[in-house]
Amino acid sequence: MFSLTKKLISEGTSNVFNLGSFIFGISGMIICLVVIIAPYKILEVMPLGYVKLFGFNLEKNGALGILLVSGVVVAAITQPLAGLISDRTKVKIGKRLPFILIGGFGTALTIITIYYAKDFISLLFCWMIIQFFANLGEGPANALLKDHVSEEEFGSASGKFNSLRVVGSVATLIIVLQIMNIYDQTGNRAWFLAGLLFLSWLIIITTTWSYYALRYPRISNSKDDSIDKKSKNRLGNLILVLITFSFTLLAFTSLQSYAVFLLQDILNLENPAPMLTGVIIVLGLSIGLSMFPAGKLSDKYNRKIIIIIGGIIGSVSCFLIIIFHSPLSVLILCSGIGISVGSMFGTIWALTNDVISKKNAGNQIGLLALGFLFSGIGARLAGILIDYLNNMRLNLGYFSLIAFAGICFIIAPLAASMIKNEE
């Protein structure tokens, strides 16, 4: 095991795992915070069943939405700025690594504060601090692929790179869910602290790995900045890529953000953790297994075609869940959503690298954080509407959310189809 680790690290930027090691850890941490930690913490800080904010009484979905939106706003500001500064940073260890180090260790130190938050306002403050450090590192880390991979390999490398996001997310979610199940959840917060400590440890390990693997920048495989091609289509294409990314993310985030409450209420589950584990495994496998092949195929064929096919699969799967929502059918249809997300994201990141400039990769990729802002606000504020519709008719809010996700899976490939070829 030690010799394998040494070999991987010694390969430096020639190994995609080294480029994506920080992304592996930070993605796992963020997904756990959103899907598990935040929903349970929301219930803890609102013992009366609601929280009063700006004169409104917010129920669980609305309060969760406000919390998650705050993080998205921080991400939308931090990622582009961190990317912009990293593009112009000149230090011995490489222009991206200082941000990864500060962001990683800052996240690891501050994540524990969630455990000690006693009310919604203190939880909101802790959440925003964590998001700042996480996105300080993630923005520049996303640009590593553009720095070190040739244009001919963008698709396959992007598939591998983003597979690390998925593997990190799924593996981390499963581990934290198992930590939950170890403890008696009735009046026992030990699982919560143990889960946060595990996430902190994960970020420390992956940040340290990034340092040792990337501290001596290797010769880039991509073209020199001085011959980086320009295109009159670049701005328009960047906007269309942003729209494609935003609606794909909006579809997935809409379902992901309320997964605990959605499964619990629609399937009438007293404890949604086992079903959530199954959904996570199915989604993770289908996303992970489809992402690399989709990226590889996009190197050989038209990337836009891959995105269009993925969007159709995702949309059909969503609308079928509204009709067939037994535990078994949900698991089967989640695999369709996973294939859709995997094929679309794997290709979208490759498409992004096609249209951005190498010289400003950090800033331009960081602008994708605006997609997080759009999707985050849209998905998370939907919690208020979900509660309203659910009160009108049983589970109407949840079914409306699923239908909305299906529509987003159609809008995304429509935007991608309008992207013009670079000149």
In a domain? residue 367: yes
Which helix H or strand E contains 197, and what residues bound it? helix 190-214
Q: Which of 202, 74, 209 is nearest to 141 (CA)?
A: 209
Question: pLDDT at position 356, please?
Answer: 66
Residues 378-421: pLDDT tens digits? 666 677 788 888 888 888 888 999 999 999 999 998 988 887 76
In a domain? residue 423: no
How far does Cα 95 stand from its chain's mean position? 23
In a domain? residue 70: yes
In a domain? residue 225: no
- Tell the burial category of 114 from Cβ atoms under 10 Å away from its Cβ (0-12, 13-18, 19+): buried
Cβ–Cβ < 8 Å for 61, 383: yes
Residues 167-176: pLDDT tens digits? 888 889 888 8
Cβ–Cβ < 8 Å for 260, 43: no
Task: Say how far apart CA 196 and CA 29 lie, in whole Å.
Answer: 9
In a domain? residue 11: no
Question: pLDDT at position 225, please?
Answer: 44
Average per-residue pLDDT for the chain: 79
Phi, psi angle pair for 51, to nearest 5°: -130, 135
Q: Which of 287, 284, 337, 334 is nearest to 312 (CA)?
A: 337
Task: Say how far apart CA 35 and CA 275 lie, in whole Å.
Answer: 13
Task: Say how far apart CA 105 and CA 200 lie, in whole Å.
Answer: 9
**Domain count for the chain:** 1
**With a cut of 70, which residues of the chain have pLDDT below it?**
1-14, 16, 47-57, 150-156, 158-159, 182-189, 216-234, 356-381, 421-423
In a domain? residue 142: yes
Show Cβ contacts of residue 219 under 8 Å, excluding neighbours closer than 6 positions: none
Question: pLDDT at position 317, please?
Answer: 94
In a domain? residue 100: yes
Cβ–Cβ < 8 Å for 368, 242: yes
CATH of residue 27: 1.20.1250.20
Q: Which two tokens stand for residue 283?
A: 């989604």
Residue-range definition of the domain harbouring residue 121: 17-217+231-417
